[in-house]
A and B are shown apart, each in its own frame.
Chain A
Amino acid sequence: MISVKNVSFSYDSEEKEDRKKVLDNVSLDINQGELVAVLGHNGSGKSTLVKTFNGICIPDEGCVTVDGLDTGNEENCGQIRRKVGMVFQNPDNQIVATIVEEDVAFGPENLGIESEQIRKRVDDALRTVGMTAYASHAPHMLSGGQKQRVAIAGVIAMEPSYIVFDESTAMLDPKGRKEVIETIKKLNSKGITIILITHYMEEAALCDRIIVMNKGRVEKDGTPTEIFADAETMQKLGLGVPQPSLLAYELGKQGVKFEKTPLTAEEFIKEFTGKIR
């Protein structure tokens, strides 16, 4: 479990008055096995929030613990980063080696694992993301989605319990995005906890839980159905809702009440055709 307690954080700035709290008294728990989306417009503190999970950002106040390990304690740093993997936005800037399998091996090599064991982990990781055929390719020859899957393989080769995706689909085309999302769902079904930062509401709708950040605070925390039911608040926060949810919300204002906010076109059709009959 990742547990965040009364965390405040601000980046170092030259002038003291300039220091704005990026995180302001945030508390939340992320349970084992969850698939959590973190939403929020730019500057809402969502990236900073996930960076406190593996000790990249150490809270000024409050504390973050990962399976009971405090990120503020430097001795825990290695163990925490082994448990919490991170995949970033630009796949180009997180691939270190000139050959796919060498890059996947980078993490386990840093952990000081035996070479046969590394080999096995690398093969397993590449199989999980479906990139086995590209093991000996050069990364720059791959498409964006493939590169991002290599980056994911590099993280899962370290066998983390949690993986944070920091807008990992933002730079990809629709096909690449689909590949990555499918990989994420597969990893979650294997029991890895996923924290997904995204700007795509369709991706957030696939999650078990959504955390909405605004001005460094947790604005909302609930299931997608709960969160997207309130289309007005979401739009006020500079975020959208999936189109079917928005349509249901607008229809609701006209007196057509939906029992459960639909998240996908299929759900919408199911509810709506029920009403017509």
Chain B
Amino acid sequence: MLNDITLGQFYPTNSIIHRLDPRMKIVLTVLLVVFLFVADNLYGFILMAALCVLAVIVSTIPVGYILRSFKPLLFIIFITCMLNVFLTDGRILWQYSFLKITYEGVYLAVFMVIRLFLLITVTNLLTLTTSPILLTDGLERLMSPLKKIKVPSHEIAMMMTIALRFIPTLLEETDKIIKAQSARGASFTSGNIFARAKAMIPILIPLFISAFRRADELALAMECRCYSGGENRTRMRRLKIQARDIVALLISVVFGVAVLVTNTLF
């Protein structure tokens, strides 16, 4: 059960969106999220939705993949929708004792739902089209100007890389420990929630001990490979802004400006 996990949710198709500079993709994602919050009318949302659909088509990621990412969030979307529908004051459409639906409530709820769906699509596109290593690389470089105000950008990126690297290893280890403890008669599926939580202790303690031991060995191995922090370190991969990155930025900005225009017009 623990074997078939994929690292992140990267879906490699080598489309033009995949090949965009990760820094540009992170910036664009932030930009689009801002636009989504700025948009406050139907035309603005149609524009943003068009941009998202365009991006999904260009990325050649199966639509099913994107739809699947909505699933865990459907409940939250539903709750938000209901709260907006029932708790907004305004012109009353329907009323039953203390429950009422207002025209403004429906209006807000529809926008909120569209906004959430588009937000999920945009942020998912980033992780679906960017490998974890490129993502951390992009983040490190975007944050590097922050070094001047003592933000340890290299260290943060290094920690993320190592965390990603060890997720499958530690999952495998957990699997092994569960089997070993089951073989000694431990039961993880019976009893109430407290009994089950208590049953996790014999899994967690060995796991923590082993993780610390691994950390120790990894630190030693890194030291042997001349690691001494981010100073004077070069990178094998050079990130270069290319024509396609500029084009992507232009398209997004054009849409963003169009959204602002619709805001003032309607």
Among B164, B165, B172, the one with the most A-chain Cβ atoms within 10 Å of its Cβ is B165
Cα separation A110 to B225 with both chains bound (whole Å): 8
- The answer to whether B169 touches A122 (Cβ under 8 A) is no
- The answer to whether A115 touches B226 (Cβ under 8 A) is no
**Secondary structure type dominating chain A contacts:** helix
Interface status of B214 (Cβ within 8 A of chain A): yes
A98-B161, A107-B226, A112-B233 as given contacts; A92 in contact with B133, CB under 8 Å = no
- The answer to whether A88 touches B217 (Cβ under 8 A) is yes
- The answer to whether B214 touches A93 (Cβ under 8 A) is yes
CB closest residue in chain A, given B167: A140
Q: How far is the CB of A252 from chain B (nearest CB, A)?
A: 43
8 residue pairs, one from A and one from B, having the closest CB atoms? A94-B221, A93-B217, A105-B236, A140-B168, A118-B236, A107-B225, A110-B226, A86-B224
Please tell me which stretch of A20-28, A77-85, A207-215 contacts chain B, meaning at least 4 of its Cβ atoms lie within 8 angstroms of it. A77-85
Cα separation A268 to B146 with both chains bound (whole Å): 68
Interface status of B222 (Cβ within 8 A of chain A): yes
Cα separation A119 to B154 with both chains bound (whole Å): 21
- The answer to whether A139 touches B165 (Cβ under 8 A) is yes
Interface status of B152 (Cβ within 8 A of chain A): no
Interface status of A218 (Cβ within 8 A of chain B): no
- The answer to whether A110 touches B227 (Cβ under 8 A) is yes
Which residues in window 196-235 of B have CB below 8 A to A? 214, 217-218, 220-228, 232-235
- The answer to whether A92 touches B236 (Cβ under 8 A) is no
16 contacts between A and B (CB under 8 A): A54-B224, A56-B223, A78-B228, A90-B214, A92-B214, A93-B218, A96-B161, A96-B162, A99-B131, A106-B222, A109-B233, A109-B236, A115-B235, A115-B236, A115-B237, A140-B165
Interface status of B238 (Cβ within 8 A of chain A): yes
- The answer to whether B224 touches A85 (Cβ under 8 A) is yes
- Residues on the B chain within 8 Å of A138, using CB: 7, 168
Chain B: interface size category:
20 to 34
CB closest residue in chain B, given A82: B226
Interface status of A14 (Cβ within 8 A of chain B): no
- The answer to whether A115 touches B234 (Cβ under 8 A) is yes
Interface status of A251 (Cβ within 8 A of chain B): no
A93-B214, A119-B236 as given contacts; A110 in contact with B228, CB under 8 Å = yes
- The answer to whether B164 touches A98 (Cβ under 8 A) is yes
Given contacts A106-B222, A111-B226, 15 further A-B contacts (CB under 8 A): A54-B224, A56-B223, A81-B223, A81-B225, A90-B217, A93-B217, A94-B218, A102-B133, A105-B236, A109-B235, A112-B233, A138-B7, A140-B165, A155-B225, A158-B225
A88-B220, A90-B217, A93-B218 as given contacts; A108 in contact with B165, CB under 8 Å = no
- Residues on the A chain within 8 Å of B237, using CB: 102, 115
Q: How far is the CB of A74 from chain B (nearest CB, A)?
A: 12
- Residues on the B chain within 8 Å of A122, using CB: 236
- Residues on the A chain within 8 Å of B232, using CB: 112
Interface status of A197 (Cβ within 8 A of chain B): no
- Residues on the B chain within 8 Å of A101, using CB: 236
Q: How far is the CB of A113 from chain B (nearest CB, A)?
A: 6
- Residues on the A chain within 8 Å of B223, using CB: 56, 81
- Residues on the A chain within 8 Å of B169, using CB: 92, 140
Cα separation A82 to B227 with both chains bound (whole Å): 11
Interface status of A97 (Cβ within 8 A of chain B): yes
A54-B224, A95-B165 as given contacts; A113 in contact with B133, CB under 8 Å = no
CB closest residue in chain B, given A154: B225
- The answer to whether B220 touches A56 (Cβ under 8 A) is yes
Cα separation A188 to B26 with both chains bound (whole Å): 46
CB closest residue in chain B, given A106: B225
CB closest residue in chain A, given B168: A140
- The answer to whether A99 touches B133 (Cβ under 8 A) is yes
CB closest residue in chain B, given A112: B232
- The answer to whether A114 touches B133 (Cβ under 8 A) is no
- Residues on the A chain within 8 Å of B161, using CB: 96-98
A109-B235, A109-B236 as given contacts; A88 in contact with B226, CB under 8 Å = no
A108-B236, A114-B234, A118-B234 as given contacts; A96 in contact with B222, CB under 8 Å = yes
- Residues on the A chain within 8 Å of B168, using CB: 138, 140
Which residues in window 28-68 of A have CB below 8 A to B? 54, 56
Q: How far is the CB of B11 from chain A (nearest CB, A)?
A: 15
- Residues on the B chain within 8 Å of A107, using CB: 225-226
Cα separation A56 to B221 with both chains bound (whole Å): 10
CB closest residue in chain A, given B237: A115
- Residues on the A chain within 8 Å of B226, using CB: 78, 81-82, 107, 110-111, 158
Cα separation A56 to B131 with both chains bound (whole Å): 35
CB closest residue in chain B, given A108: B236
- Residues on the B chain within 8 Å of A118, using CB: 234-236
- The answer to whether A97 touches B133 (Cβ under 8 A) is yes
Cα separation A261 to B44 with both chains bound (whole Å): 87
Q: How far is the CB of B4 from chain A (nearest CB, A)?
A: 12
Among B133, B228, B234, the one with the most A-chain Cβ atoms within 10 Å of its Cβ is B234
CB closest residue in chain B, given A78: B226
